Chains A and B, each alone.
Chain A
Amino acid sequence: MPVFHTKTIEGILEPVAQQICHLVIMHEEGEVDGKAIPDLTGPVAAVQAAVSNLVRVGKETVQTTEDQVMKRDMPPAFIKVENSCSKLVQAAQMLKADPYSVPARDYLIDGSRGILSGTSDLLLTFDEAEVRKVIRVCKGILEYLTVAEVVETMEDLITYTKNLGPGMTKMSKMIEERQQELTHQEHRQMLFNSLNTVKQLLPVLISAIKIFVAIKSTHSAGVDEAERNRCFTFEKMSAEISEIIRVLQLTTWDEDTWA
């Protein structure tokens, strides 16, 4: 089961996570006991600068976003990263005084882990906001699909198709991009399948509306059946888009719990 939710986050955090993991093992197995750790002021200063930049950009993002969940969730991650960085600075100072300091070593490991965890929280919070953008577009499509019920003339149908088309294209593009980003294979496949179904149903829906409008305008027999067919296609599309919204919000842990 993938540890990181998206390829972007995985690409950023996987390498350093492995290194910290190895360091912790060395530490726990006593491989570093009795060994001097030289001056780490330089590398710690680099981390400090990077934390400062990340938090600055993060705070700018929080100030400009309209996403209230991100405004609420991101600040704790800033604090976690900043506190972890303080531990690293303190550890470097302690090591300068005593290169064999065991507490300093603990601080280094805790600080590194905290940086990793805080950065992961930041990236996940940001990623969840990106997902909410996709979901907003999906919900817009769901809403516009309901307008199919009131299309009763060919002019209405032309307008409806002109409006629905670009929205569907945008939704499809966003979902395809998201699908590529996911590390969880089952979630990718679920998104792919549902989106495929929606794409296939779109022309079917337009056709069903067209038949309904044609029969209704000529007062021919079969209006009810045409209406049922239109409703059936509309409901299938809505169900698939709702499934897409559900899957977009799944995380690896949900899958584990379900399993």
Chain B
Amino acid sequence: DAGEMVRQARVLAQATSDLVNAMRSDAEA
């Protein structure tokens, strides 16, 4: 299913983004 791959990649990108944000926000704070 073409769409499922893209959906899961989107979820992973968002989770990674959340992780990076967690790292950055504390560093910036």
Which chain A residues in 21-67 approach chain B with CB under 8 Å? 22-23, 26, 31-32, 35-38, 40, 43-44, 46-47, 49-51, 53-54, 57-58, 61
| Majority secondary structure, B binding face | helix
Whether A8 contacts B6 by the Cβ 8 Å rule is: yes
Q: Count residues of A near B (Cβ-Cβ below 8 Å).
A: 40
- Tell me, yes or no, whether A19 is within 8 Å of chain B by CB: yes
Q: Which of A22, A47, A88, A123 contacts B6 (CB 8 A)?
A: A123
What are the residues of chain B within 8 A of A116 when measuring CB–CB? Answer: 13, 16
Q: How many residues of B contact A (CB 8 A)?
A: 25
Give every chain A residue within 8 A of B1 (Cβ-Cβ).
57, 61
8 Å CB interface, B1-29 against A: 1-2, 4-6, 8-24, 26-28
In the complex, residue of chain B having the shortest beta-carbon distance to the beta carbon of A38: B26
10 new A-B pairs (CB below 8 Å) besides A15-B17, A23-B20, A35-B26? Answer: A19-B17, A19-B21, A38-B26, A43-B22, A50-B12, A58-B8, A108-B19, A112-B20, A115-B12, A126-B6
CB pairs A–B below 8 angstroms (17 shown) = A19-B17, A19-B20, A20-B16, A23-B20, A26-B27, A31-B27, A40-B23, A46-B18, A47-B16, A49-B15, A53-B11, A53-B12, A61-B5, A81-B12, A119-B9, A119-B13, A126-B5
